Amino acid sequence: MRNRLASFPGAAAPVAAVALVLPLVLTGCLVEDGSAVSRGTLSGDIVGAGATFPDPLFQEWMSYYNTTIETGTTIDYRATGSGEGIEQFLAQSVDFGSSERYLQESELLVARQVRGCEAVQFPVVFGAVVIALNDPALDGLILDAEVIAGIYDRTVTRYDDPAIAALNPDLDLPDREIVPVHRSDGSGTTYVFTSYLTHEVQLWADEYAAGTDIDWNDGTVGGEGNDGVIQAVEASPGGLGYVNQSYALNNQLATARVVNEDGVPIEPTLAATTAASEEAEIPDDFQFTIDDIGGDGYPITGANWILAYECGYDDDTAEVLRDFWTWTLTDVEADRFASALGYAPMGRTLKERVLTEIQRVNSS
């Protein structure tokens, strides 16, 4: 019951500033050698699968791109969960994968073996994992990593538990059982959430650790996808669950404030997500986690990675793949979609690095 079971081993610039990052790709698109071609000339269908975390944003991006930017293309994204997205990517049943955790060395090796070339992975957006609550009266409830771990370990079972009361001395806490809800599918949201708890709480590191799929305590409830977690939270008096920030906003759920590294209870706002993402140290291989967040940063923050290959695509597919993800990082409209839905677009320097990485797609 308390042993981990992982499925796999192992900032935002203001909208006005984004326009200065790179020339907007509205009348031309970048091709592999960096030159521009006229808009409306691309054709091809691409399919991706993976994280539910960015799905609301991806659907907006893809619809706008298909109907306004390159009308001869079709991009289909299936929100299957990060674990399934990685599996389908490595099985080569999709053109690109999407995950809230980067591919680890064992998976990169599999990618080389099955494709005969290197995998390419790059972040495209940041977002927060928030603690959603069934009771609107508890909006702004303060929790810390130890209490959150205790709730999911079932050592903290009631809202008026002394550990929660100590964090909320001015709040009249209900004498009500907590019903903790988790993802039942392989999930990058779970990976971000459990990575945070593993980094912060020794009990969690020892008993559960981080993974896309966890052997949860029997006293918890499962829901498939972010939507399934929200449904279970809303259906359960005392419900509490972790979901992507945009899902909590769209469903107008009460959310908890979480104490960060500096001891400050932080509300999961877009600004707090941006503050956290700006503290991340991002290496050349784009394999990173966002830990030890202080200041104004919200501590449970993660990124979404796109997974592709250096070889094996036909020319049309490769060009659409490169152009679409380039467009998401260079068009101010794409950033507006992200901000409106509660995601943090990347800042200028990181965008420039990612744009270079995108050009590796089908370059071998």
- Percentage of the chain beyond pLDDT 90 is 75
- At 30 the pLDDT is 46
**pLDDT at 134 (0 to 100):** 97
pLDDT at 246: 83
**Phi then psi for 75, rounded to 5 degrees?**
-120, 120
Give the residue, 88 or 18, on which the prediction is more confident: 88
CA dist., res. 160 & res. 175, Å (int)? 6
Q: For the segment 116-136, what is each residue's pLDDT rounded down to a tens digit?
A: 999 999 999 999 999 999 999
Listed by start position, the domains of the chain span: 15-126+303-358, 128-279
pTM metric for this prediction = 0.80
Q: Locate 186 and state its tokens.
A: 């392989």
Rounded to whole angstroms, the Cα distance separating 238 from 336 reads 35
State pLDDT tens for residues 137-163.
Answer: 999 999 999 999 999 999 999 999 999
How confident is the model at residue 119, as a pLDDT?
Answer: 98
pLDDT digits (tens, 9 = 90+) for 269-323: 988 998 998 888 899 999 998 999 999 999 999 999 999 999 999 999 999 999 9
Which pLDDT value is given to residue 31? 44
Inter-residue contact 319 to 31 (CB < 8 Å) = yes
pLDDT, mean over the chain: 89
Q: Tell me whether domains 15-126+303-358 and 128-279 share a fold.
A: yes
pLDDT band at 249 (very low <50, low <70, confident <90, very high): confident
What is the distance between the alpha carbons of residues 159 and 172, in angstroms, rounded to a whole number? 10
- The predicted model gives 329-334 an average pLDDT of 95
- Given a cut of 50, whether residue 60 has pLDDT beyond it is yes
Please give the CATH number for the structural domain made up of 128-279.
Answer: 3.40.190.10
Question: pLDDT by residue (tens digit) across 174-209?
Answer: 999 999 999 999 888 899 999 999 999 999 999 999
Fold entry, domain 15-126+303-358: D-Maltodextrin-Binding Protein; domain 2 (3.40.190)
Q: What is the DSSP code (8-state) at residue 177?
A: B
Q: Where are the beta strands (DSSP E) in 204-318?
A: 221-223, 239-244, 254-255, 257-259, 265-266, 301-309
